[in-house]
C-alpha cells in the first residue's frame, strides 16, 4: 500500500511539472508579439476613401506633400523621414469636436515629448481661413511645441487629396464644391514606411490610450 502511494506521489509530481510546462508554452504562444495591421483603402469605410482607390488592397502609402506650418516653414515628407507620426484633420474655428481632438493631441505630445522617433501632424481643412498667422495663434493657445507638432495649411486641393487618397480620413462634402470636405474625429498612426497602422477616435480618451499602446507596439516592430 505504501509503495502504491509513493508511486502515485511521483506520478503526481511529474504530472504537475508537465502541466506547468504546457501552460507556460500556451501562455507564450497566446502572448507572442503581434504586429499592427497595415491598412489599405479596401479595409476602410468607403465614405472616407476617394472612389478611384476604394478597392485597392495593397501598396498604399501616404503621398508626398508640401505644406506650410504655423511658423511659415515648409513641411514635406522629409520632415517626417524615419519618424512614426500621428495625423489628423481639423480647423481652428471648429467649436464641436476639434477642441477635444486638439486637447487629446496635446496629451499625446506630453507622452512623446522626449521621444525623437515620434511626431504629430495636423492638417487644416479650411486653408483660406487658417493662414500661417491664424495657425500660430492657435498653436500658442493650445501649447503646441514646434519640434513635435506641425499644424499645416496650404493648397486646398492638395489637402483634400491627402485626406481622401492618402490618410483615408475625411468625407466628401458632396455637391458643395470641388475639394470641400467634412473632417472626422479620426487620428491616424503612420509608420516609418508611410503606411497607415491604425485609426482612432480622437475624441475618446480610451482610444488615445490605445493609440499610445500601439505606438509602443510599432516601436517594438523596428527592434525585431
Within this chain, do residues 113 and 28 fall inside the same structural domain, yes or no?
no
What's the confidence (pLDDT) of residue 7?
53
Is 55 a known ligand-binding residue?
A: no
Predicted model pTM: 0.84
Within this chain, do residues 134 and 199 fall inside the same structural domain, yes or no?
yes
What's the confidence (pLDDT) of residue 173?
72
Is 98 a known ligand-binding residue?
A: yes
What's the confidence (pLDDT) of residue 94?
95
Structural domain containing residue 27: 1-32
Within this chain, do residues 51 and 71 fall inside the same structural domain, yes or no?
yes
Within this chain, do residues 121 and 172 fall inside the same structural domain, yes or no?
yes
pLDDT digit string, tens, across residues 139-184: 999 999 999 999 999 999 999 999 999 999 998 776 555 677 888 9
Within this chain, do residues 15 and 101 fall inside the same structural domain, yes or no?
no
Within this chain, do residues 55 and 94 fall inside the same structural domain, yes or no?
yes
What's the confidence (pLDDT) of residue 223?
86
Number of domains observed in the structure of the chain: 2
Rounded Cα gap, residues 172 and 45, in angstroms: 12
Within this chain, do residues 26 and 45 fall inside the same structural domain, yes or no?
no
CATH number, residue 119: 3.40.30.10
Q: What is the pLDDT along the chain (224 residues), one digit of tens a residue?
A: 545 445 555 555 555 566 555 654 444 444 466 899 999 999 999 999 999 999 999 999 999 999 999 999 999 999 999 999 999 999 999 999 999 999 999 999 999 999 999 999 999 999 999 999 999 999 999 999 999 999 999 999 999 999 999 999 998 776 555 677 888 999 999 999 999 999 999 999 999 999 999 999 999 998 87
Within this chain, do residues 7 and 61 fall inside the same structural domain, yes or no?
no
What's the confidence (pLDDT) of residue 23?
53
- The total number of residues shown for the chain amounts to 224
What's the confidence (pLDDT) of residue 29?
45
The number of beta carbons lying within 10 Å of the beta carbon of residue 82 is 10
DSSP state string for the chain: -HHHHHHHHHHHHHHHHHHHHHHHHHHHHHTS--PPP-B-GGGS-GGGS-GGGTT--S---PPP-EEE-TTS-EEEGGGGTT-EEEEEEE-TT--SSHHHHHHHHHHHHHHHTT-TTEEEEEEES-TTT--HHHHHHHHHHHT--TTTEEEEB--HHHHHHIIIIIS--EEE-GGG-TT-EEE-SEEEEE-TTS-EEEEEETT-HHHHHHHHHHHHHHHHHTT-
Is 183 a known ligand-binding residue?
A: yes
Within this chain, do residues 146 and 189 fall inside the same structural domain, yes or no?
yes
Amino acid at each position: 500500500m505504501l509503495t502504491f502511494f509513493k508511486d502515485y506521489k511521483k506520478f503526481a509530481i511529474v504530472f504537475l511539472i508537465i502541466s506547468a510546462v504546457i501552460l507556460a508554452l500556451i501562455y507564450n504562444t497566446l502572448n507572442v508579439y503581434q504586429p499592427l495591421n497595415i491598412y489599405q483603402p479596401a479595409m476602410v469605410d468607403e465614405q472616407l476613401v476617394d472612389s478611384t482607390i476604394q478597392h485597392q488592397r495593397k501598396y498604399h502609402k501616404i503621398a508626398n506633400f508640401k505644406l506650410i506650418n504655423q511658423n511659415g516653414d515648409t513641411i514635406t515628407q522629409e520632415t517626417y523621414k524615419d519618424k512614426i507620426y500621428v495625423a489628423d484633420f481639423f480647423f481652428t474655428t471648429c467649436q464641436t469636436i476639434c477642441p477635444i481632438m486638439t486637447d487629446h493631441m496635446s496629451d499625446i505630445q506630453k507622452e512623446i515629448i522626449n521621444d525623437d522617433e515620434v511626431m504629430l501632424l495636423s492638417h487644416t481643412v479650411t486653408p483660406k481661413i487658417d493662414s500661417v498667422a491664424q495657425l500660430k495663434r492657435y498653436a500658442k493657445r493650445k501649447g503646441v511645441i514646434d519640434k513635435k507638432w506641425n499644424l499645416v495649411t496650404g493648397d486646398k486641393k492638395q489637402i483634400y487629396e491627402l485626406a481622401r487618397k492618402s490618410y483615408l480620413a475625411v468625407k466628401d462634402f458632396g455637391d458643395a464644391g470641388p475639394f470641400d470636405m467634412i473632417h472626422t474625429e479620426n487620428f491616424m498612426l503612420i509608420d516609418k514606411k508611410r503606411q497607415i497602422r491604425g485609426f482612432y477616435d480622437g475624441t475618446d480618451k480610451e482610444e488615445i490610450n490605445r493609440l499610445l499602446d500601439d505606438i509602443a507596439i510599432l516601436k517594438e516592430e523596428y527592434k525585431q
